[in-house]
Structure 1
Amino acid sequence: GKAADSSGTPNPLAGRIQYTLGQGTSQSGNAMKTFLHLGFNQALDGGKVFDGIFAHVAARQTHINTRFAVPGGGGGLRTDHTAFGQTAPRGLDKDYNDDISGRQGGVMKRCAATSTCPKFFLGLSGTEFWQLQGSPVLTDARGTKDLAQPDNARIYYYASTQHGGAGGTASIAYAPTRATYPTGTVVHFNDTFRALFLNLEDWVVRGTQPPASQVPRIDNGTLVRPEALAFPAMKGLTWAVGGVQTAIPEFSYRGLYNNFPLFDFGPQYIPQDESGIATILPPRNLGRDYAIMVPQVDASTGLTRAGIRSVEARAPLGTSIEFNYVATPGITDLANLTGSFIPFHKTRAARLAAGDARPSLEELYGTQDGYVAAVTEAANALVAQRLLLQRDADLQIARAKVAAVLP
């Protein structure tokens, strides 16, 4: 940067910044992808603006360069898909081929042409698959094969998580008139994100290769059509609501997800850039939808099989589900950006009596010491894979020791 500002005040960082990292979460993560896609990572001197970018829980791009643009946008089934950007490419590679629209070129097409692509991390929670049309970054537009990602990119799926939140059983709430099941996921990605961000820094600054992408895939059966999911029976549980134990309805999978149609906004609109003037409003639905795929679940626990499975997924206390349903009569929709949590029964006898097919805490861990041992093993394994910082592993183990899980 410059040695001083316009008033002559010296810049204490002039000449001292060697690398620049950019990070955005959710909408700001979408903005980072848009910044990259539109070519803005090329600085005025021809170099890179950001050497590394982490777009976290960011499935889409930000609709900002269209007349009457709507930069935000939700992910419910009832969201008006015609009111905000739906046309920018999801695929990252410069040679991405969209055979639904017939367009070529992904998010990194411009930066590849100018040699200004950063080291790039994309993080996806479960919400991104169910509500935010996330799977097209992983597959061809028709959902028939997995995509090969660029060498400068890594994609990390945070298994069995919702879009945000602290995680842990204390974060779970239940308002039965608003959502069908207790809201929130005990599994979370906060610890994972911290470790990954340092991996991005190491990649940029020291050239240390980061962990490989961890995503669900078509070729191994972990990324499937929504109708292919098979959850175990989950029933006979209660959750405290206002100090009163309230029955949780038996889990019933409804297969609801946010679809992704192709629209035509007219000849003055540049769909691949989400730029220009829409002259066909509402836009014309071309009758061709992008395939939406979702992570397959484990038949025993109901937790998803692929991705980065955090400590709470490796030593679970129940099933963290990546979606929930609106309970308001007359409304069919997914609860916005929220998952569900259905605890395990404590004993084998209790879960058999209820008809719950998942293992009980007793069967999983035996005793409290067994639970602590499982958490310790999970934490140590994640540290070894550079997916958990040692300080966070120590905190996880300390919390497990004081948690009243089993006698």
Structure 2
Amino acid sequence: MNGSLNVVDGLGNRVPIPDNVRLYYHSSYAHGGGVGLFSSPGQSVLCQNLTNSGGTSPTFRALLIALDAWVEQGIEPPKSNYPRLENKTLVPLREAAEAFPDIPGVSFPTVVDELEVLDFGPEFNSTGGRLTLLPPVIGPSYKILLPKPDPDGLSIAGIRTMEIRVPLGTNTGWNLRKPDQRAPNLCGLSGSYIPFAETKAERLAAGDPRKSLEERYKDHEGFVKAVRHAAKKLVHEGFLLEEDANTFISAAEASDVLR
């Protein structure tokens, strides 16, 4: 939870990304991602929520080919896509928590991975040197910002992959430890998956503010249609290869979503 330091400094000021650099944020993904293709979520003995199984490999395949074309042919890849201060998609913890939906049984993090300025003495600086103060003097904390979520709890900014554009539940890049595993600390490197209710009646009975699968897609064919539409857009945007788009469509057709 300190990835914001790629685009803001320790005081929370914007750090420009050069035109010859690309920076991408996988919206609502955990460290490394999972299998994807609408696969079943995972479980952890440490984490409160089911774990995020969204896969990053299809995006990486498309962007690696785009990078090669940029270097070899001068064809620019998709523009950088990440949470930003200027459009208010990169926000303080409290604002991110307020935007997250009030899902029964789910808590938003109350802490982030903080980093402090450490003083190891006058002979040590950012390039190295000799440590003369041990332990170091702890200075001010870096300002850490978070991606702002939408009403489904999904990050607004970044590359919104298939599992985010046609979601079956809320995916997040964070998870919390269980009460007997040092809650409410973060469950390191793990994301969360909180499934949507299947029907409106189930959603209302549970007090879940997020639309059900039935309300989103109506039926199985509606879900497949949404996947086809999202696949076409992702290919057009340069974040998905045609062959992977076809794989997603086949996986959606074979799934049991709203059958």
- With structure 1 as the length reference, what TM-score do the two structures score? 0.60
1:324–1:335 CA contact under 8 A, matched in 2: yes
SS of residue matched to 2:88: coil
Trace 1:85-96 onto structure 2 (pairs within 5 A): none
Q: Say whether 1:173 aligns with 2:26.
A: no
CA distance in 1 between partners of 2:53 and 2:43 (Å): 13
Equivalent residue in structure 2 for 1:294, among 143, 146, 151: 146
The question of whether the paired residues in 2 share the 8 Å contact of 1:178 and 1:328 is answered with no
Q: 1:3-402 counterparts in 2 under 5 A?
A: 130=1, 133-144=2-13, 146-164=14-32, 165-168=34-37, 170-175=39-44, 177-183=45-51, 185-229=52-96, 230-235=99-104, 250-271=105-126, 273=127, 275-286=128-139, 288-299=140-151, 301-329=152-180, 331-332=182-183, 333-402=185-254
CA shift for structure 1 position 218 = 1.2
Deviation at 1:187, TM superposition (A): 2.9
Q: CA deviation at 1:139?
A: 1.6
Q: CA deviation at 1:335?
A: 0.8
Instruction: Name the SS of the counterpart of 2:22 in structure 1.
Output: strand
8 A contact 1:186–1:312 mirrored in 2: no
Distance 1:255 1:209 in 2: 40
More strand by share: 1
CA shift, 1:256, in A, is 1.9
Q: For the aligned residues, what is the CA RMSD? A: 1.5
Q: Residue 320 of structure 1: SS of its match in structure 2?
A: strand
**Can you list the C-alpha shifts for 1:113-171, whole angstroms capped at 9, x where unaligned?**
xxxxxxxxxxxxxxxxx1xx211221233114x32211221110110100112235545
Q: Which has the higher Rg, Structure 1 or Structure 2?
A: 1
Give the deviation of 1:254 after TM superposition.
3.1
What is the alpha-carbon distance in structure 2 between the residues aligned to residue 362 and residue 262 of structure 1? 50
1:403 and 1:182, CA in 2 relative to 1: closer, same or farther beyond 3 A? same
Q: For the residues of structure 2 that align with 1:170 and 1:357, how far apart are their CA atoms?
A: 24
1:217 to 1:350, Cα distance in 2 relative to 1, 3 A = same
| Structure-2 separation of matches of 1:179 and 1:214 | 29
Higher helix share: 2
For structure 2, the residue ranges without an aligned partner over 5 or more in a row are: none
Q: Hey, what does 1:73 align to over in structure 2?
A: none
Superposed CA deviations along residues 197-242 of structure 1, whole A, max 9, x for unmatched, are 111111111011111100111121110001111211223xxxxxxx
Q: Which runs of 5+ in 1 are unaligned?
A: 1-129, 236-249
State how far apart, in whole Å, the 2-side matches of 1:268 and 1:141 are.
22
Question: Structure 2 CA distance, aligned partners of 1:171 and 1:191?
Answer: 18
Q: Deviations over 1:48-84 (max 9, x none)?
A: xxxxxxxxxxxxxxxxxxxxxxxxxxxxxxxxxxxxx
Give identity over the alignment, percent. 40
Partners of 2:39 and 2:160 lie apart in 1 by: 20
What letter corresponds to residue 319 of structure 1 in structure 2? Answer: T
Equivalent residue pairs, number: 255
Q: Is the 8 A contact 1:159 1:308 kept in 2?
A: yes
Q: TM-score, normalised by structure 2?
A: 0.93
The one-letter amino acid of 2:117's match is L
**Residue aligned with 2:47, SS:** coil
2:31 is aligned with what amino acid? H
